[in-house]
Structure 1
Amino acid sequence: MTKPVIRITTLIASISALFLLTACEPEMGTPEWCKMIKEKGVENVSAKEAANFAKDCVL
């Protein structure tokens, strides 16, 4: 293969991997999301996540 073909193939593979990895997180407010936040631990949760957790999972 030539270098441009290899670069394009690598770029497409990288973009595909990015989409696959970011699509795995559950939607905010769902029971799966609440479980994920509980397992994350207090030190790894952002302020926005904590507020949404309190609103959607506690109340």
Structure 2
Amino acid sequence: MKKIAVLAIVSLALMTGCAPEVGSEKWCKAMEAKPKGDWTANEVKDFAKHCIFKTTE
């Protein structure tokens, strides 16, 4: 039973580490492919900031 729990935790940690960084080209493309109804308010804000109104800092 403990082996299954450890395996589940390790698997979850590995999967969450694969998400692209917010604002990156890969993240923008992933958001464009995601249905707009599934976006959170933070994702909408970040998409507008990083993908539509790209600022040069």
Segments ≥4 residues shifted beyond 3 Å: none
Higher relative contact order (CA 8 A, sep 6+): 2
TM-score (norm 1): 0.82
The alignment-based identity, stated in percent, is 34
Number of residue pairs aligned between Structure 1 and Structure 2: 53
Q: Which runs of 5+ in 2 are unaligned?
A: none
TM-score (norm 2): 0.84
Q: Which runs of 5+ in 1 are unaligned?
A: 1-6
Larger Rg: 1
**Structure with higher helix content:** 1
